[in-house]
Structure formats: C-alpha cells, structure tokens
Structure 1
Amino acid sequence: MRLDKFLKVSRLIKRRTLAKEVADQGRIELNGQVAKASTDVKVGDELTIRFGNKLVTVVIDSIAEHARKEDAKEMYRLIKEEKVNSGTEA
C-alpha cells in the first residue's frame, strides 16, 4: 500500500493530500530513509513523522484498504512521541 494512503486509512494524517504534502517536504522517514508519498509500506515497517515540533514513531502492525475509526489505531503501534526543538530559539 502507498504511504500516503496508509497514513489516511490509519488516521495518522486526516487527508491523503496532506499526507502527500508532508511526505514531499521530507518530513516522513520509513525505516530510517526519507520516504515519498508513493513509497510502498508493509507490516513491520517503522515510520517517523515530524508534525511541527513533535516526532512520532510508529510500527505498522496491519494494512487494510479501509478501516473504521475504532479499528484504525490497531493498524500501528506507537513506539515513541517526542518534542524537538525547531531551531529558532536563541
């Protein structure tokens, strides 16, 4: 499954177009490598996503074409969530 679609179906990012923009900006890593929106993801892959000043790392547990809101959180396992400095502080 494409990375942007997985992010939308799993509800890590609400819209697929937004997931594509985030990936195109180089803010998503797949197994330590910067990933494009079209990159294929599979069970066991580790995703690191930068949301502003927050880094979220998850491991993909399952892949489904469609998921209800209640089931979406079961598609991944949160490994860590950390705040990072934006680099603008003096």
Structure 2
Amino acid sequence: MEISGIISAIVIGIIIGVLGRLVLPGRQRTGILWTILVGIAAAFLGTAIAAGLGVADSKGIDWIEWLIQIALAVVGVAALERLKSRH
C-alpha cells in the first residue's frame, strides 16, 4: 500500500468513525480520538471484508463497502462504550 493509500484510509476512517458514532443512538462518552481510531480500524477491516466478498472495487461509489465499514464502526463504538461503562 502506498503512502497516499494510507493517508486516504485514515481520512476515510475519520469519516467512518464519526458516521458510526452518529448512527449509534444515545449519548456516547467516548472521546473523539477513540472514535477516530475505531473508524480507522473499521475502514481497514471493512475494506478487507468487502474485498473478500468481491464488492470492494466497483465502477462507482462502493456503497456496500461503506455500509460494512459504518456498521463495523457502530459495533466498535458500542463495544468501547460498554467497556468504559463497566469501569
């Protein structure tokens, strides 16, 4: 992966994290840095899953890949919230 691909994955990860947080109902006490990190992880993992399913590279916008990434971000933010609430 080239440096431009890594930078774009980080930017997309930030967007994915914020969207995942917005989709999750209720108030989250997770900081923005954790949200960004969850979004970056969701972006990388979602891309891998979409590539495994064969839906990662289409001619237009990869809507299925975006939905997978956002769903993973929602799950990640929810899991982080649950971890934080236990402490």
- TM-score tier, shorter chain, comes to under 0.3
Structure with the higher strand share, 1 or 2: 1
TM-score (norm 1): 0.26
Q: Which has the higher contact order (CA 8 A, sep 6+)?
A: 2
TM-score (norm 2): 0.27
